[in-house]
């Protein structure tokens, strides 16, 4: 008989990615595998919090040692910039162009970080997040230590520092999409602003740890300011590898009840309202299709928040990398602080960031409007920065108070957008509710923000040689752009609340 051939054979179904494996720590110590989901949520919260705090602690040393690596312009013969007397510094960062070189070093780190972020997010949606996060932490720690070795090996070659910072930025970019995706997998939308506001304080806590550690050993040689934070993140990476469970389904728990997932065929499923059957199907859904990079850009609100974060993170990272340098070279009550004290003193800004991140999360949960909360913080941060520049040098008390307020208002919307907003957008129903869009959406938002973070410190390095008033003008202009970009989202939020009857006292535009 003649053999019949199918003209259009049906292709075999794509094999879903392998589910994450059970961490070896839970296999070695089965008593830690609690039957209570809350216990695992606490462990996940603690591990991801510590992991990203370690990332930021290892990111802080460049700002602490900047005043040592760069030249000291405190000895002035005249008020003219052309007659500044530059002394000290570590070649190739000494001399009149030292601040420029330091700003360029920040640029290379943050550009590689932002580029890596786009790739890291999509990769994170496709492989075991625990292994990916561990690799990012170990790689970051190794290259932070290598940068510090430049002191012990007496390296004065600029390309060495540039290459090390580029690799460090690439490994650092792995961290954020991974930790946000893991937290999004374990916690639903209920009180997400508060939970992630508290959780996001890891950024400021890490900055504080990094500032204190790097400043405390600065007197022994600036290399130690890199070696110790590098060892710290490697040690935390071991804990992550041993104990982090990236998804509840890995150990037999349901996904968060108010999240939505999709099966490979694209059929949306909700776990909470469909009883045991819905939960059963959701628990089987480990082969969810990861949303594409371009498709994620098209999700409602992603582009607006991404470009808002571009300007918001520009401001936050300018403070992160240049605040100790600014404090060192700005007299407070007529007194210049030492390198060590300036580094420690700058941590007050990060303490304000902890307060602002939690406050923004609580307020956004209360009024159920993330964009409105973000814009309110951005608008209030403008007068706060003006007051800090004008009156921060009057007394130590005024400097501390205004730095605390500025840190709270600047970091509040930045913290809210990179956590609760990213998690909301990554699990919205338009995306089919796939939590496997979390890392991609998070990477888009924070990756775009990181481009701004790269530009801010670079501009500060150049503009600061012309005067700090120009730097603060740049920061205020950036905050204004950040607020304007969210106006369409604010309008949608307000109109939605009016239509729901929740904000009857407020009406914006036609309904």
List, for residues 92-112, the tens digit of each pLDDT value. Answer: 888 777 778 888 888 889 888
Report the mean per-residue pLDDT for the chain.
Answer: 78
Helix axes 438-463, 98-124, angle to 10 degrees: 180
Give CA 61 to chain center in angstroms. Answer: 17
Look at residue 103 in the predicted model and tell me its pLDDT.
81
Omega before residue 240 within 30° of 0, cis: no
101 CB-near residues (< 8 Å, 6+ apart): 92, 93, 158, 461
Q: Once rounded to an integer, what is the mean pLDDT over residues 172-181?
A: 87
**Chain segment 381-429, per-residue pLDDT in tens:** 999 999 999 998 888 899 899 999 999 999 888 888 877 676 667 655 5
Q: Is 262 a residue whose pLDDT tops 70? A: no
**Chain segment 485-497, per-residue pLDDT in tens:** 989 888 888 888 7
Q: Is 257 a residue whose pLDDT tops 70? A: no
Q: Which of 102-106, 120-124, 279-283, 499-503 has the highest mean pLDDT?
A: 102-106
- For the chain, domains (ranges, CATH) are 24-249+292-496 (1.20.1250.20)
Identify the residue whose tokens are 């307060």: 355
Helix axes 396-416, 370-391, angle to 10 degrees: 160
Nearest by Cα to 418 from 54, 175, 207, 166: 175
Distance CA 129, CA 117 (A): 14
Q: Is 275 a residue whose pLDDT tops 70? A: no
Nearest by Cα to 315 from 168, 459, 106: 459
Q: Is 190 a residue whose pLDDT tops 80? A: no
189 CB-near residues (< 8 Å, 6+ apart): 256, 258, 259, 423, 424, 427
**Chain segment 20-31, per-residue pLDDT in tens:** 678 888 888 877
Q: How confident is the model at residue 1 (pLDDT cuts 50, 70, 90)?
A: very low
- Cβ contact 413:434 at 8 Å: no
Q: How confident is the model at residue 157 (pLDDT cuts 50, 70, 90)?
A: very high
Distance CA 214, CA 61 (A): 6
> What is the H or E stretch that residue 270 is in?
strand 268-270
Q: How confident is the model at residue 39 (pLDDT cuts 50, 70, 90)?
A: confident
What is residue 16's three-state secondary structure?
coil
Q: Once rounded to an integer, what is the mean pLDDT over residues 106-133?
A: 83
Distance CA 358, CA 363 (A): 9
End-to-end CA distance of the chain: 70
**Rounded to the nearest 5 degrees, what angle is found at the Cα of 357, between the Cα atoms of 376 and 201?**
165
Strand partners, 260: 270
**Chain segment 458-503, per-residue pLDDT in tens:** 888 788 878 889 999 999 999 999 999 989 888 888 888 777 766 5
- Cβ contact 439:293 at 8 Å: no
- Cβ contact 324:380 at 8 Å: no
Pick the range with the lowest mean pLDDT from 53-57, 76-80, 294-298, 331-335. Answer: 76-80
**Rounded to the nearest 5 degrees, what angle is found at the Cα of 143, between the Cα atoms of 139 and 145?**
120
Distance CA 172, CA 137 (A): 7
Structure tokens at 401: 């108070």
284 CB-near residues (< 8 Å, 6+ apart): none
Look at residue 86 in the predicted model and tell me its pLDDT.
59
**Rounded to the nearest 5 degrees, what angle is found at the Cα of 116, between the Cα atoms of 111 and 120?**
155
**Chain segment 134-145, per-residue pLDDT in tens:** 999 999 999 999
**Chain segment 336-390, per-residue pLDDT in tens:** 788 778 888 888 998 898 899 888 888 888 888 888 999 999 999 999 999 999 9
Structure tokens at 27: 């296999």
Q: How confident is the model at residue 75 (pLDDT cuts 50, 70, 90)?
A: very low
Report CA-CA distances (Å) from 192 to 252, 308, 371: 23, 21, 15
Q: How confident is the model at residue 13 (pLDDT cuts 50, 70, 90)?
A: very low
118 CB-near residues (< 8 Å, 6+ apart): 293, 443, 444, 447
Q: How confident is the model at residue 189 (pLDDT cuts 50, 70, 90)?
A: low
Distance CA 427, CA 184 (A): 8
């Amino acid at each position: 008989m003649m053999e019949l051939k199918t003209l259009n054979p049906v292709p075999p179904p794509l094999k879903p990615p392998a589910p994450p494996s059970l961490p070896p720590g839970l296999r070695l110590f089965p008593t830690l595998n609690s039957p209570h989901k809350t216990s695992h949520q606490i462990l996940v919260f603690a591990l991801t919090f510590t992991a990203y705090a370690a990332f930021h602690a290892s990111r802080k040393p460049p700002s602490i040692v900047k005043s040592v690596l760069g030249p000291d312009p405190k000895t002035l013969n005249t008020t003219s910039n052309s007659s500044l007397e530059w002394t000290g510094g570590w070649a190739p960062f000494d001399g009149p162009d030292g601040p420029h070189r330091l700003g360029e070093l920040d640029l290379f780190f943050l550009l590689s970080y932002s580029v890596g972020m786009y790739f890291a997010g999509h990769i994170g949606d496709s492989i075991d997040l625990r292994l990916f996060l561990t690799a990012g932490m170990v790689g970051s720690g190794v290259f932070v230590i290598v940068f510090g070795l430049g002191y012990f090996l007496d390296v004065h070659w600029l390309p060495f520092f540039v290459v090390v910072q580029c690799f460090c930025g690439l490994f650092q970019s792995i961290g954020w999409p991974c930790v946000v995706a893991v937290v999004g997998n374990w916690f639903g939308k209920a009180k997400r602003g508060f939970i992630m506001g508290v959780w996001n304080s890891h950024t400021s806590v890490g900055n504080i740890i990094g500032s204190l550690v790097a400043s405390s050993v600065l007197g022994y040689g600036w290399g130690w300011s890199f070696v110790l934070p590098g060892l710290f993140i490697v040690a935390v990476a071991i804990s992550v590898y041993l104990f982090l469970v990236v998804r509840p389904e890995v150990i037999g728990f349901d996904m968060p009840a108010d999240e939505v997932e999709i099966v490979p065929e694209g059929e949306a499923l909700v776990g909470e309202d469909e009883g045991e059957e819905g939960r059963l199907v959701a628990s089987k859904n480990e082969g969810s299709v990861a949303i594409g990079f371009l498709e994620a850009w098209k999700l409602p609100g992603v582009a607006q928040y991404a470009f808002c974060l571009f300007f918001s993170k520009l401001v936050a990272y300018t403070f992160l990398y240049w605040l100790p340098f600014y404090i060192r070279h700005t007299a407070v009550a007529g007194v210049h602080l030492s390198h060590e004290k300036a580094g420690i003193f700058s941590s007050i800004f990060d303490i304000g960031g902890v307060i602002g991140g939690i406050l923004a999360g609580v307020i956004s949960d209360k009024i159920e409007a993330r964009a409105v909360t973000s814009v309110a913080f951005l608008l209030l941060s403008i007068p706060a920065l003006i007051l800090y520049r004008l009156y921060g040098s009057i007394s130590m008390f005024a400097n501390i108070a205004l730095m605390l307020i500025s840190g709270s208002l600047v970091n509040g919307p930045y913290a809210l957008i990179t956590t609760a907003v990213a998690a909301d957008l990554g699990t919205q129903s338009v995306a089919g509710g796939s939590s496997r869009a979390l890392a991609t959406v998070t990477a888009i938002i924070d990756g775009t923000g990181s481009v701004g973070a790269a530009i801010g410190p670079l501009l500060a390095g150049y503009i600061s040689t012309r005067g700090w008033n120009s730097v603060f003008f740049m920061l205020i202009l950036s905050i204004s752009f950040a607020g304007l970009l969210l106006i369409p989202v604010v309008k949608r939020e307000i109109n939605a609340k009016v239509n729901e009857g929740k904000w009857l006292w407020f009406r914006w535009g036609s309904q």
